[in-house]
Structure 1
Amino acid sequence: MNWLLLCGFLWAGAQEDLDIAANPNVSEELRMAAFNRLVQIGATDLNVIRDTALSGEEELRKRWVSIRILGKVGGAPAREILPPLSVDPDPAIRAASLSALGDLGSSDFVDIIQVRLKDEAIIVRAAAAEALGKIKDPQAIPSLSKALQASDARYRGASLWVRRHYVDALRDIGSSDAYPALLRSLYDDDPSVVQATIVALEVIAGFDFKEGRDLEAQKEAWRRWLQSQLSE
């Protein structure tokens, strides 16, 4: 890319930056630079971002970027605009709104977010789990635990990839209230869920059982420790 074109990108206005941030053919560096400029612009003027996020006529990528920017900017407009978008007909928009609500970091939105753990679209469920992990409110633990064991988290008996996101959310919340759920998932039939469970336990408990133990021995050590914790 020549210098004049790069300068043009750097000096682009809000609409031009939105075009850049949503353009998959532009380098990640330039997309992120445009995104960050839009976050700065949004702190004082949200007109372009708000209108794009709410417009059903705009290109999907631009709406997605605008919604994520709202989550980074925060404030009253974001708190008003984002919740209704969590039930948008398009799963990509629902997922973006949930991620943005997670960026706000407020427990006020836990109820809105955890409902989407039952969304028909797997990407939306994953976004909901990630958002709950960002907010770190233990009141979300029962919903995540239930989602982890739900029949719709499997397809023809096989574990779906979203289940490890539920475990990751429990890890990020970081509360010992998750121990009953993690004790169950410690012996899950999905190896990725088991591995995520061990990592979650290490993070929450603040130590590990790795030294001198293979995976099965670690699982047994964690089982004994968890049972002792839960019996107290």
Structure 2
Amino acid sequence: MMKNLSKSILILSIVSSGYAAPIPSSETTLDSSLSSFLQKPLEQRVDVLKNDKIQLDLVEKMAFDSKYHLKQRWTAFRTLASLENNHAKKLIKKAVKSNEWFLRDAAIKNAAQYYPKAALRISRSLITDPSLIVRTTAVKVIHRLKDYQSEDLLWRELDSKKNFRKGKSLWIRKHIAKALYDFGVHNKTNNKELSEERIKKLLSLMEDDEKQVQFYALKSLNSFVSSSVSDEKAPIETQVRRWQAWANQSGIY
């Protein structure tokens, strides 16, 4: 009798001291259920959200709540954007205005996937974003969606102070340079010649500290200005010297 009583007291003591397994809260259970839902194929998730307002609200809460892991939030946001309806568009607009770089970045990427015209407007506005990640995404989307109207904007951002840190070029500039080269290919196809101002700019970029910027500047000069000045297979230093000599003879410098 005394042994059984002692065991009961011991068990009660353990439970009271917090060693017993905690009972999951309703919020924990809900989060677990939502995480399981987000692991389903995208098409299934979209079908559910189109007919389940409660689940829609839960997914929206996760997408915009910073307490959740970014991977979960990304999946939630992608699911919402995939609805391709007015509500999805409103959520993208909301994300664009967010104080979180993650949501602004997600807005650009998902708009590019489902709403290309809106993506271009968003990318043009966020190309000057405080976040380097967001700015780079904006450049990539402008490039991928072939937004030739943003060429002047890209030229300006190539020299933006935001895209340098302590005098050093940031990685966004190589993406801008690549986009400008590809846009130049489009211009050449449409018989649009480079202005003298742009040629001067390319000449100045020949000695850029960012090697990829330098590479695309020389590639642009060889492709769009003259193919006879220098062989683009020649060493970089040789190409630079030949173009400098050409510029002096042409009176462009």
> Which deviates the most, 134-143 or 171-180?
171-180
What corresponds to 2:7 in structure 1? none
Aligned to 2:209, what secondary structure does the other structure show?
coil
Cα distance, 1:57–1:218 mapped onto 2, change above 3 Å: same
Native 8 Å contact 1:119 1:125 kept in 2: yes
Is 1:189 the counterpart of 2:195 in the alignment? Answer: no
Alpha-carbon distance in structure 1 between the residues aligned to 2:205 and 2:67: 43
Native 8 Å contact 2:231 2:239 kept in 1: yes
* 1:25-75 superposed Cα distances (whole Å, 9 cap, x missing partner): xxxxxxxxx6xx22x235534436555434555433212223345556645
Alpha-carbon distance in structure 1 between the residues aligned to 2:75 and 2:60: 11
Shift of 1:149: 0.9
**Structure-1-length-normalised TM-score:** 0.63
RMSD between superposed Cα atoms in Å: 4.0
Native 8 Å contact 1:186 1:197 kept in 2: yes
Shift of 1:170: 3.3
Out of 97, 119, 128, which is 1:109 matched to? 119
Which amino acid in the other structure matches residue 169 of structure 2? S
Map 1:14-163 → 2, pairs under 5 A: 15-16=35-36, 18=38, 20=39, 37-38=41-42, 40-46=43-49, 47=56, 50=60, 52-55=62-65, 58-70=68-80, 74=84, 76-104=86-114, 106-163=116-173
Alpha-carbon distance in structure 1 between the residues aligned to 2:93 and 2:62: 16
Cα distance, 1:221–1:135 mapped onto 2, change above 3 Å: farther
Native 8 Å contact 1:133 1:171 kept in 2: no
Give unpaired runs (5+ residues) of structure 1: 1-12, 21-33, 226-232
Native 8 Å contact 1:85 1:94 kept in 2: yes
Alpha-carbon distance in structure 1 between the residues aligned to 2:115 and 2:244: 32
Number of matched pairs: 194
Which amino acid in the other structure matches residue 211 of structure 2? P
Which amino acid in the other structure matches residue 168 of structure 1? K
Structure with the bigger RCO (C-alpha within 8 Å, sep 6+) is 1
Cα distance, 1:215–1:51 mapped onto 2, change above 3 Å: same
Alpha-carbon distance in structure 1 between the residues aligned to 2:89 and 2:243: 40
Shift of 1:134: 2.3
Shift of 1:214: 2.4
Which amino acid in the other structure matches residue 234 of structure 2? R
Shift of 1:86: 1.8
Give unpaired runs (5+ residues) of structure 2: 1-32, 50-55, 247-253
* 1:150-182 superposed Cα distances (whole Å, 9 cap, x missing partner): 112111211111211222333565632795388
Alpha-carbon distance in structure 2 between the residues aligned to 1:52 and 1:108: 24
Cα distance, 1:118–1:223 mapped onto 2, change above 3 Å: farther
What corresponds to 2:25 in structure 1? none
Native 8 Å contact 2:84 2:114 kept in 1: yes
Alpha-carbon distance in structure 1 between the residues aligned to 2:47 and 2:240: 51
Alpha-carbon distance in structure 1 between the residues aligned to 2:105 and 2:218: 27
